[in-house]
Amino acid sequence: MPSPLGLRRRLKKLLGLDDQASAPREEVPKVQLVVVGPDGSEQAADVDVGTTIVGGTSRFKRPIATGCSEASCGTCRVEVLDGAEGIAEQSPRERATLKENGFPSTMRLACRAELVKGSVRVKAAELM
């Protein structure tokens, strides 16, 4: 139902929202994420590029467990099984946390590891 005096239409135009509904949305590239649980079970999803591994598992029946989401505890550590090139490089904070907790530098913190391309398969230390 139109608003009186076309106010809704005018507000949308002023806010620059009038053309967005008709403009085609850019498709966000996807990365295939496969997470192997400690028991060997697998869960998979196509997630947006730039999503962290933890973020990619947010809709899983059993997402990756996190203790802090600040790269300080190591609860969300994962072993990369395939597709390491599909994950952004480790940040200094991520490297420091792995070292402080005695984890090998080859592991990744799922709360910080951003997916950038292709297909990535990881083994999680803990699932919720």
Residue 38 is part of which domain span?
A: 26-124
Per the structure, the count of domains in the chain is 1
Query: Does residue 108 sit within a domain?
Result: yes
Global pTM value = 0.78
Q: In what order do the strands lie in the sheet with 42-48?
A: 42-48, 30-36, 119-124, 77-82, 107-109
Q: What is the CATH number of the domain that holds 84?
A: 3.10.20.30
pLDDT digit of tens for each residue in the chain (128 aa)? Answer: 555 667 777 777 777 776 655 566 788 899 999 999 999 999 999 999 999 999 999 999 999 999 887 888 899 999 999 999 999 999 999 999 999 999 998 999 999 999 999 999 999 999 98
| 72 within some domain | yes
In this structure, is residue 96 part of a structural domain?
A: yes
Q: Is residue 16 part of a domain?
A: no
Is residue 19 in some structural domain?
Answer: no
φ, ψ (nearest 5 deg) of residue 56:
-65, -25
Is residue 2 domain-resident? no
Q: Which residues pair with 48 in a beta bridge?
A: 30
In order of 5, 33, 48, 77, the CA distances from 114 in angstroms are 48, 11, 10, 13
